[in-house]
Amino acid sequence: MPASELIAKSATDIVALLKAGEVTTLDLLDALEARIAEVEPAVNALPTLCFERARDAAGALAARPVAERGVLAGMPVAIKDLLNVAGVRSTQGSPIFADTVPETSDVAVTTLEAAGGVVYAKANTPEFGAGANTFNEVFGRTLNPWDTSKSCAGSSGGSAVALATGTAWLASGSDLGGSLRNPASFCGIVGFRPTPGRVAHGPSALPFNSMSVEGPMARTVADCALMLDAMSGSTPVDPISLEKPAVSFVDAVAARRAPKRVAFSRDLGGITPVDPEVAAIVEKAARRFEDMGCIVEEACPDFSDVQMIFQTLRAMAFAASKKELLASHRDKLKPEVIWNIEKGLSLTMEEISAAELARGRYYHRVRQFYETYDLVLCPATVVPPYPIEQRYVEECCGHSFSNYIEWCTVAYAFTCASLPAISVPAGFTAGGLPVGLQIAGPPRGEAAVLAAAALFEDAAPWAHTLPVDPRGPKG
């Protein structure tokens, strides 16, 4: 089968071909290597490649019976550069760790490999995943393939661009303030933030932290569900990790169970400005649920104290995990990371305890909202892709954001409630740039989110537009 034909197929179709013996993992790696040579110089999504390691892993996997090769059956997977991969340069996007080659892999990587995933590349990320624009001092900028003068967002930007350009069928991401959902929206792919603990990771210095999660990225909802099945599971390494659900996520997508009543909001009750074109595209997308027989009402939970909660707890985590780096390598840290660490170090016990108590109240308010509504629909990002030279979005609709992460409020409103949320392609701006619809579910409601996203994808099938060849700016 020609490499170009393989590259255009979905991950679900590729796994079926692997299980049927119609292609091998080596065939897929060859196709990826050729595609990377074609498009990677224009976008810089996968700066670290490990094809020799991947071919060794493919050979070991091929020695097993097909039934023992896991749900991915030898599918190549790209890994975000925040996760360690044994024997592969793993930088975290930081000059401090630019030459680090770990001896062991993060448990999220070993779980994927145990499920038949074959790691062949590391995807670019901003330093420590901080900031929703993918650039760093180690590898430089990753560019949006729909318009290479634009940002691909972040922090899972390398993964999103690899998927959009056909240098990956599946890729890992992580999400604290929207790092799975932002780049999915900007690049026209699917990014899913699952419930904390759904995907085990670590060992971590903050193993009980429920703000940051690992999750899947793909070109279609079904592919995202496939990867989530491969990533899920419990391990003692991660004390909040959850057992696999009784029903697989692939089966949940196949069932296509429609929600009965969904809430839609352009701006989550006014907690953030939203670009008018983005709001219009997302509202049109949300109204498609009415065609599915759902009740769509304008409503949202009370997110009014999200800034105090998120900014405080995020800063506390930065201080706890990075204060030693600030003391020893301040000159190698980017300004936004320094600001976040210092903000955390300046917090008082009163401020931290107030944020923790507020988060508890916040969670229960939001949980009760889902007793009335099955899902919440809203924008995944508040702006379309912006110029790559901007470090972050500073202003929207006349509102000046107070710091480098505030423009991601529409995403981290759900982070603070530990809810699963997905970004699925919703349409394009007049300038041809992707916009994502965010679908957020109730606690541990991944199956409901994936099923609804699949139904929406059926009604608005933009996945056929991928992969794309990188495009320069218009005009």
Residue 218, in any domain of the structure: yes
Residue 415, in any domain of the structure: yes
CA-CA-CA-CA torsion for 196, 202, 205, 208, nearest 10 degrees?
A: 30
Q: Who's near 258: CB < 8 A, 6+ residues apart? A: 292, 293, 294, 451, 452, 455
How far is the CA of 369 from the CAs of 229, 246, 247, 303, 353, in angstroms?
A: 28, 26, 25, 11, 25
Q: Is 26 left (phi over 0), alpha (psi -120 to 50) or beta?
A: alpha
Tokens of 99: 């030459």
Among 80, 122, 150, 322, the one annotated catalytic: 80
CA-CA-CA-CA torsion for 380, 11, 26, 62, nearest 10 degrees?
A: 120
Q: Which residues pair with 76 in a beta bridge?
A: 118
Contact 259, 251 (CB under 8 A): no
How far is the CA of 255 from the CAs of 179, 399, 466, in angstroms?
A: 28, 43, 25
Classify residue 462 as exposed, middle or buried by CB count within 10 Å of its CB (0-12, 13-18, 19+).
Answer: middle
Residue 474, in any domain of the structure: no
Q: Which amino acid is at 394?
A: E
Residue 470, in any domain of the structure: no
Tokens of 250: 């692939």
Tokens of 308: 């105090």
How far is the CA of 177 from the CAs of 26, 244, 296, 431, in angstroms?
A: 36, 25, 26, 27
Report phi then psi at 170, rounded to 5.
-140, 145
Residues in the chain predicted with pLDDT less than 50, given as ranges, are none
Among 94, 105, 151, 155, the one annotated catalytic: 155
Tokens of 257: 């169970």
CA-CA-CA-CA torsion for 417, 421, 427, 431, nearest 10 degrees?
A: 60
User: Residue 207 is part of which domain span?
Assistant: 3-465
pLDDT score of 464: 74
Among 94, 151, 172, 179, the one annotated catalytic: 179
* pTM of the entire predicted model: 0.98
Q: Which residue is associated with the tokens 């099945």?
A: 229
Q: Which amino acid is at 105?
A: S
Contact 457, 465 (CB under 8 A): no
Q: Is 293 left (phi over 0), alpha (psi -120 to 50) or beta?
A: left
Report phi then psi at 208, rounded to 5.
-100, 5
* CATH number where 363 lies: 3.90.1300.10
Contact 186, 160 (CB under 8 A): yes
**DSSP one-letter code for 37:** H
Nearest to 157 by CA among 465, 175, 149: 175
Residue 416, in any domain of the structure: yes
pLDDT score of 463: 65
Residue 473, in any domain of the structure: no
3-class DSSP state for residue 438? strand
Q: Alpha-carbon Rg of the chain, whole angstroms?
A: 20
Contact 39, 96 (CB under 8 A): no
Domain count within the chain: 1
Active-site annotation holds for 80: yes
Can you tell me the distance from the alpha carbon of 396 to that of 122, in angstroms, rounded to the nearest whole number?
A: 33
pLDDT score of 462: 73
Residue 472, in any domain of the structure: no
Q: Who's near 402: CB < 8 A, 6+ residues apart? A: none
Active-site annotation holds for 155: yes
Residue 291, in any domain of the structure: yes
